[in-house]
């Protein structure tokens, strides 16, 4: 009931937040206990992107998530989409709920508020013939399970394209005023075929909601834009503006994806100040003006994206930080796992600090196997061909060694 009221009267809910300093978004449990607030002038966020595992998660995934939470000691955690694998064979509702529990339980048990956005895989297994859900129904089912945890602040939001378009203010240390804001957007899984297909994007009605809500926050903030960060799964096409277009074969170059698939890129240090570009970002095929809306509103100082598992670059384009977060999954492709932290300082809310923490650094462990035999999925996909040809070379060496040994033994026998 609360959630339906929120959808219909989203602006009233926003006013409630601003006037009373509580997160009245209908999240499960005590909203008073779960409100976001600076403590001693600091607020720390841990971003877990593409956890993307099943109801029997990889031990490496579990180790990474737990170590990251223990190391970062965050005030808040963001799950950046593809929070479960979604598509594993034969998945049903109970298995989906178990996979969600594996992610949410270690967060909730520590009493840490958390929120989430959807990726392009979360819902897929529930949309097959056996389960018969629509995309929206599947997302609502998933969100409902997350919301059974008392520290989950995610909500469906208003009646818009996608599920889970909402914002969460952060109160000052005194707890009497919202001084910062966090946006959560459903970037939607895939574009319709009539639009040329490709990966999803934030639709025009979602952007219009963002602009309305941003204006309301600005009015409550004395006419000044309320400084904000934004979280969504699929990156905006403007990320490619931070790269150099280079010739095929250039050292360190990666091939673009989506509408940039015919070009090769390296990072441009004039924009990118941290991290690496290890694959072409899978942005939408068409630019729908989301980034331009951020520029017009003037509130977003940084946007964080998952989806591209092995990218961890951070750069600034037209004054807005565009930041890629590496994957935490060991159930899907990638040879680079880790997390990001974000630290806000109440003394200067026009900037933030961010730190990359790798799996090796967090756990002290190294993963040597190239395959996850218990699920039959290729591990370290980028290394598959080298491993394959390396395997052939190994077979050749063993074969040659066997032949030599056979000849040696025959020679001794004939002596």
Q: Could you read off the pLDDT of 284-304 as tens digits, one per residue?
A: 999 999 999 999 999 999 999
With beta carbons less than 8 A apart as the criterion, state whether 44 and 75 touch. Answer: yes
- Same domain for 260 and 403, yes or no, is no
Report yes or no: 318 and 297 within 8 Å, Cβ to Cβ: no
For the cut 70, the answer to whether the pLDDT of residue 14 exceeds it is no
pLDDT (tens digit per residue) in 390-414: 445 545 555 666 666 655 555 544 4
Q: How far apart are CA 265 and CA 256, in angstroms?
A: 7
Residues 68, 109 within the same domain: yes
pLDDT at 254: 96
* 402 and 365 both lie in a single domain: no
Angle ∠(366,333,58) on CA atoms, nearest 5: 55
Range of the domain at 402: 384-414
Are 297 and 264 in contact, with CB atoms under 8 Å apart?
no
Backbone angles phi, psi at 340, to 5 degrees: -125, 145
241 and 274 in a single domain? The answer is: yes
Residue 194 and residue 116 share a domain:
yes
In this structure, the answer to whether residues 409 and 344 fall within a common structural domain is no
CATH number at 34 reads 3.60.21.10
How confident is the prediction for the chain on average, in pLDDT?
85
The verdict on 348 and 206 lying in the same domain is yes
Query: Do 44 and 191 have their domain in common?
Result: yes
Chain segment 65-120, per-residue pLDDT in tens: 999 999 999 999 999 999 999 988 778 999 999 999 999 999 999 999 999 999 99
Question: Among 36-40, 58-62, 179-183, 393-397, which stretch is predicted with the lowest mean pLDDT?
Answer: 393-397
pTM: 0.83
In a domain, 405, yes or no: yes
Asked if residue 229 and residue 115 are part of one domain, the reply reads yes
Q: Is residue 377 situated within a structural domain?
A: no
For residues 103 and 300, what is the distance between their CA atoms, to the nearest angstrom? Answer: 28
Q: How many domains does the chain have?
A: 2
145 and 103 within one domain: yes
The residue ranges of DSSP E strands in 158-276, in sequence order, are 166-171, 178-184, 228-232, 243-246, 254-255, 264-267, 272-274
> Are 368 and 391 in the same domain?
no
Domain match, 362 and 393 both: no
Residue 379 maps to a domain: no
């Amino acid at each position: 009931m609360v959630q339906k009221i929120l959808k219909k009267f989203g602006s009233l809910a926003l006013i409630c937040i601003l006037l009373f300093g509580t997160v009245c978004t209908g999240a499960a449990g005590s909203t008073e206990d779960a409100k976001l607030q600076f403590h001693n002038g600091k607020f720390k966020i841990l971003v877990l992107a593409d956890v993307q595992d099943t109801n029997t998660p990889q031990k490496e995934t579990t180790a990474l998530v737990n170590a990251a939470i223990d190391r970062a000691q965050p005030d808040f955690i963001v799950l950046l989409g593809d929070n479960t694998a979604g598509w594993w064979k034969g998945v049903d509702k109970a298995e989906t709920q178990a996979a969600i529990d594996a992610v949410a339980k270690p967060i909730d048990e520590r009493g840490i508020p958390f929120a989430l956005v959807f990726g392009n895989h979360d819902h897929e297994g529930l949309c097959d013939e056996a389960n018969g859900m629509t995309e929206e129904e599947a997302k609502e089912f998933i969100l409902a399970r997350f919301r059974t945890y008392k520290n989950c602040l995610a909500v469906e939001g208003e009646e818009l394209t996608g599920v889970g378009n909402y914002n969460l203010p952060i109160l000052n240390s005194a707890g009497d005023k919202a001084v910062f804001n966090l946006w959560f957007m459903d970037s939607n899984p895939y574009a319709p075929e009539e639009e040329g297909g490709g990966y999803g994007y934030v639709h025009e009605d979602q952007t219009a909601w963002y602009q309305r809500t941003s204006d309301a926050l600005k009015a409550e903030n004395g006419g000044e834009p309320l400084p904000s960060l934004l979280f969504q799964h699929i990156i905006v096409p403007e990320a490619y503006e931070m790269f150099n277009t280079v010739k095929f074969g250039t050292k360190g170059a990666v091939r673009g994806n989506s509408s940039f698939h015919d070009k090769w890129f390296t990072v441009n240090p004039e924009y990118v100040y941290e991290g690496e570009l290890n694959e072409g970002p899978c942005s939408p095929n068409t630019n729908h003006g989301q980034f331009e809306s951020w520029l017009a509103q003037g509130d977003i100082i940084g946007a964080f994206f998952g989806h591209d598992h092995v990218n961890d670059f951070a750069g600034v384009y037209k004054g807005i930080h565009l930041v890629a977060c590496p994957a935490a999954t060991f159930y899907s492709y990638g040879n680079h796992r880790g997390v990001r932290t974000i630290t806000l300082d109440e003394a200067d809310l026009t900037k933030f600090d961010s730190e990359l923490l790798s799996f090796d650094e967090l756990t002290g462990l190294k993963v040597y196997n190239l395959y996850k035999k218990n699920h039959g999925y290729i591990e370290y996909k980028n290394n598959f061909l080298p491993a394959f040809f390396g395997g052939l070379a190994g077979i050749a060496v063993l074969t040659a060694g066997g032949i030599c040994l056979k000849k040696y033994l025959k020679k001794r026998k004939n002596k």
